[in-house]
Structure 1
Amino acid sequence: MDPITPVHGTATLLLIAAAAVAVLLLLIMKARLHAFVSLVLVSVLTALAAGIPAGDVPDALAFGFNSTLGAVALLVGFGVMLGRLLEITGGAQVLADTLIGRFGERRAPLALGIAALLFGFPIFFDAGLVVFLPIILTVARRFGGSLLHYALPAAGAFAAMHALVPPHPGPVAAGVTLNGDVGVILLVGVPVAVLSWYVGAYLVGRALGNRIQVDVPSLLFGEMNGGTADQPGDAAPAAGGTGSTTVTRTAPAFGTVLTLLLLPMLLIAINTVLTTLVDTEVLPADSTLVNSLRLIGNTPIALLITLLVAIVVLGRREGSLADTSRILDDALAPICSIILITGAGGMFGGVLRVSGIGDALTGSLGDLGLPLLLQAFVIATALRVAQGSATVALTTTAGLIAAPVAAAGLGDFRIALIVMAIAAGATVLSHVNDSGFWLVSRFFGMDEKTTLRTWTVMETTLGLSAFAIATVLWLASALVL
């Protein structure tokens, strides 16, 4: 849906946006109205207040809700079913034990973060988080303490790679818009992502974990949360049974578990590489073989293939296919709320975009006379806060500053730093209009206040760290060039 022609001035639109966020937080945190109901209600009121015609309000609501659900629902569904199979067969425990054996208990959060950085290279934030969820929860349950010690370094790693490093769509689109070299952006983005993750996510995650206790949720563990879970090799109730019949579970080998985790990464990486080659006209866009390989590397299809392989490899440990189906069905029940709330968060962000609030905010910042690097960061931050989507903030900001960047005659290295600044601004201040905020909140069992105190803070320190590194490199390049 295209943005409407605003009927209000910039100041009024900004006041509407601020009031909408304030009312939403009040409804959820003070009135304790369910987050899904609150998001839909505030989205409707915001659309009307911003001047969207009443007849167009349903389309405006569906714009953000449908696009978010289309991107998230299949990933969450397939990912949680895969995670449940890994957990109940002992696969997650095997991987956790191996990681801890290699890195040691004290460096378990570091091990999770490094693994997430590697896996996050080809895979989007939400898909990576879904696939990695059973590992995070299993390690946290084993060693105790706040879940934040383990969750924030891993989630922050996926967020850093998604925002800063090609071939993810945001930095690629921004680089192309600014006529930069994607290869240079990749070479700059990787060290910036790793350094900013270490400072802004790993160290901050440890500090937040020391201050705020978040218990491991029962998303994958069912009734076992807070009790003693069945360990690999123990006698456990048969799937779908009453507990009177037991089966002896033999945990899968480490190589089997690692293969199941790497399979979607490999398929998605193939799709990413082929898409890049097609976009750069190295490969023909109408090739049947290329398009077939891209199809199986499409993220939902890659997760579906992985789930089918897991059913064959792991499901047979649970008995019949009917038993495995009951396990998968049980895995889906707790995530209905997650999917709906995430979709509603996308709805709210979509209304803010369609209403023109995001454009009004960035337009008011475009003529402030700020240095180019700072201007890129500030505009991306404003867009991020206004409408929620990091990718939209990245691509829109690049379009807004493309003319001054071209006029400045910057080289590829400095254009890459501009992209880093935009990505940094598009990362900070994740809040209630960001579908990722709700995904993290529900996956990690945190209420909205706790998510603001933890995830929002970590995303902000991650973005600020990336911008600080880009600024240092910018100043250093001025001395060299």
Structure 2
Amino acid sequence: MNELLLLAGIVFAILLLLFLVLKLKIHAFISLLIVSLLVGLVTGMDFSLIIKSMQDGMGNTLGFVATVVGLGAIFGQMLEASGGAESIAQSLLKYFGEKRASWALMLTGFIVAIPVFLDVGFIILIPIIYELTKQAKRSVLYYAIPLLAGLAVTHAFIPPTPGPVAVAEILDVQLGWIIVMGFIVGVPTAIIAGPVFGRYISRKIKIKAPDFFSERKPENEQGGLPSFRTILLIIALPLLLIVASSMAEVLHDKAILKNEQVYQTIGLLGHPFTALIISTLLAIYVLGIKRGFNKDQIMRLSNKALGPAGLIILVTGAGGVFKQILIDSGVGAMLAERLAESAMPPIVLAYLIAVVVRVVQGSATVSMITAAGIMAPLITFFDLSQIDKALLVLAIAAGSTILSHVNDSGFWLVGKYLGMNEKETLRSWTVMETIISVVGFTFVLLLSYVV
């Protein structure tokens, strides 16, 4: 009876969460807290333990996520305001040429989405899509889909974007391994969902570039656009530092790197906190101060960046509360025991949970956090390496990308800026997102058998 009660508790939690977010339109932050509280009560937890679990879950999660997401938001804001995204796009288009422009746009999206949110990157770069479409007299989808695929893949798979950072913290995974595996999975996935699918769908849906959106100018126009090389180095720096730290840990554990001082130094520089602090300060100086921004402008841009970041931080913290309640109530342990007896691998279960939540309620972030919260107590019962856990994060990311439709804000954003109706958006954007999910998960599965 006790086991049935625990199982009923988790089913009740998921259904209630979906009801609160979808039907009652209560924000995911509040909904996750309500669900966590009620799961604790339904499963018979002592009230004082419920409160303690909620405090621990919030504090333990935000201690890491708030810092990374906050720094990443300011970093991305400086890139946006300086015109760095336009610089990347123009340089790659010049190098690749018009015939291979779709590949250049995919790479642009892939690079830009590392520090910049998907919707922001899309809005920054959409004037380039319009101009190319008018010049080449093609369907706008020929160029837009590759750009969107690059943005969406990186946004889902590669830290320091908020989704994988939040899941990594909940599942206790080193970001370095997620970055490495994310690139291995992400590049071929972006190619298939971007230039390959874009070429196909642009022949099926012919749409001219809308005229309602004038080209966006960088906030700082004094010195033109920053150089492509400068932007690339600034974006690559935190990724390289984080990956170097993960590699150093492997070498240290295998007694290949024996110098303790070198190991500690690399570990400090490669910690996400330090790496992003260094990169953010560098971006503020090179893309801000050096290009004519004054102190008031930089402060205003930083404040602007932390607005949307705050919402993500709070939802992530509430996801940490949900995870902790599942652990402390015993629901996670019970599910883990049943999973261990079944034939379903954790990586498949994680993907399916993320898929269900994503399709029903729309938010990729909520989908990732919910799936991570459910999986966190389960993976303690399996002997998973850091690489295995990184692949689990990517499986959740893939599941949270599937079937973007009318309950997802991204669906309406893309449809509006590309001048499409709902049916055309479903046939293009929604299918592209589903390709990313299915292809990405296929590569994750293949890697799980190889590594």
Give TM-score, length-normalised by structure 1. 0.63
| Contact in 1 for aligned 2:245/2:270 (Cα 8 Å) | yes
Q: 1:204 to 1:338 in 2, by over 3 A?
A: farther
Matched residue, 1:21: 14
Distance apart, 1:55 and its partner CA? 0.5
- 1:319-358 to 2 correspondences below 5 Å: 319-358=293-332
- Is the 1:430–1:455 contact (alpha carbons within 8 Å) kept by the matching residues of 2? no
Write out per-residue CA displacement over residues 11-38 of structure 1, whole angstroms, 9 at most, x where no aligned residue: 3323222221221122122211222222
Distance 1:202 1:393 in 2: 34
Q: What secondary structure is seen at the aligned counterpart in 2 of 1:250?
A: coil
Question: Any idea what the Cα deviations from partners look like across 1:360-412, whole Å, max 9, x if unmatched?
Answer: 223223334x4xxx54544555787898465994995585378xxxxxxxxxx
Query: Aligned equivalents of 2:20 and 2:284: distance in 1?
Result: 42
CA contact (8 A) 1:160 1:197 kept: no
Contact 1:20 1:46 in 2 (8 A): yes
- For the 8 Å contact 2:320–2:373, the answer to whether it is kept is no
Question: What does residue 91 of structure 1 align with?
Answer: 84
The separation in 2 between residues aligned to 1:353 and 1:211, in whole angstroms, is 49
Residue equivalent to 1:8:
2
Check whether the contact 2:248–2:263 (CA below 8 A) recurs between aligned residues.
yes
Distance verdict in 2 for CA 1:397–1:290, change over 3 Å: closer
Which residue in the other structure is 1:254 paired with?
A: 228
1:150 to 144, 147, 150: 147
d(CA) in 1 for partners of 2:45, 2:204:
44
SS class of match (1:258): helix
Q: Would the alpha carbon gap of residues 69 and 128 (structure 1) be closer, same or farther in structure 2, given more than 3 Å must change?
A: farther
Deviation string, structure 1 residues 131-169 (Cα, Å, up to 9, x no partner): 88865552345326788763444443565567xxxxx98
Partner in structure 2 of residue 466 of structure 1: 443
Letter in 2 for 1:295: L
1:279 aligns with 2:253: yes
Describe the shift of the 1:376–1:261 C-alpha distance in structure 2 as closer, same or farther (beyond 3 A): closer
Letter in 2 for 1:362: A
Query: Of the candidates 291, 305, 323, which is equivalent to residue 278 of structure 2?
Result: 305
Q: Choose between structure 1 and 2: higher helix proportion.
A: 2
> Aligned Cα RMSD in Å?
5.1
> How many corresponding residue pairs?
392
Distance across 2 between alignment mates of 1:19 and 1:56? 20
Query: Which runs of structure 2 are paired with 1:120-135 in the superposition (5 Å)?
Result: 128=114, 130=116, 135=121
Structure 2 residue corresponding to 1:36, chosen from 18, 29, 36: 29
State the TM-score, normalizing by the size of structure 2. Answer: 0.67
8 Å contact kept, 2:92–2:108: no
Q: Would you say the 8 A contact 1:388–1:430 is kept in 2?
A: no
Cα 1:468–1:79 change in 2 (3 A) is: closer
Give distance in 2, aligned partners of 1:188 and 1:338.
24
Counterpart Cα distance in 1 of 2:336 and 2:14: 18
Mapped partners of 2:284, 2:186: distance in 1: 35
Contact 1:64 1:343 in 2 (8 A): yes
Measured at CA, do residues 378 and 331 of structure 1 come closer, stay the same or move farther in structure 2, by a change above 3 Å?
closer
- Contact map agreement 1:260 1:310 (CA 8 A) in 2: yes
The offset of 1:94, in angstroms, is 0.7
Q: Distance in 1 between matches of 2:204 and 2:58?
A: 35
Give the deviation of 1:93 after TM superposition: 1.1
248 and 187 in structure 1: CA distance in 2 versus 1, 3 angstrom threshold = closer
User: In the superposition, relative to structure 1, how do residues 248 and 394 fare at CA in structure 2: closer, same or farther (>3 Å)?
Assistant: same
Report what 2:137 is aligned to: none
**2:45–2:329 contact (8 Å) kept in structure 1:** yes
Query: 1:253 is aligned with what amino acid?
Result: S
Return the alpha-carbon distance in structure 2 between the equivalents of residues 173 and 113 of structure 1.
Answer: 31
Report the alpha carbon displacement of residue 256 of structure 1 after superposing the two structures with TM.
1.6
Matched residues in 2 for 1:266 and 1:17: separation? Answer: 40
Cα distance in structure 1, aligned partners of 2:371 and 2:201 = 25
- In the TM superposition, 1:128-277 aligns within 5 A as 128=114, 130=116, 135-140=121-126, 142-143=128-129, 150-157=147-154, 159-160=156-157, 194-195=187-188, 198=191, 228=214, 230-232=216-218, 248-277=222-251
Q: CA deviation at 1:319?
A: 3.8
SS at match of 1:85: helix
Q: 1:423 to 1:196 in 2, by over 3 A?
A: farther
- Counterpart residue type for residue 150 of structure 1: L
Change (3 A) 1:394 1:130: farther
Q: Distance in 1 between matches of 2:168 and 2:98?
A: 35
- Once the two structures are TM-superposed, the CA of residue 305 in structure 1 deviates from its matched residue by 0.9
Give the aligned residue type for 1:357: V
For 1:61 and 1:211, the matched residues in 2 are separated by 51
Q: CA offsets, 1:333-384, max 9 Å, x none?
A: 333222212222332233223333233223223334x4xxx54544555787
CA distance in 1, matches of 2:76, 2:203: 27
Query: How many angstroms does 1:69 deviate by?
Result: 1.9
The answer to whether 1:70 aligns with 2:52 is no
SS in 2 for 1:33: coil
Q: State percent identity of aligned pairs.
A: 26
Contact 2:114-2:158 within 8 A present in 1 as well:
no
CA shift, 1:469, in A, is: 4.2
Q: Distance in 2 between matches of 1:35 and 1:200?
A: 29
Unaligned runs of 5+ in 2: 131-139, 160-166, 206-211, 358-368, 415-424
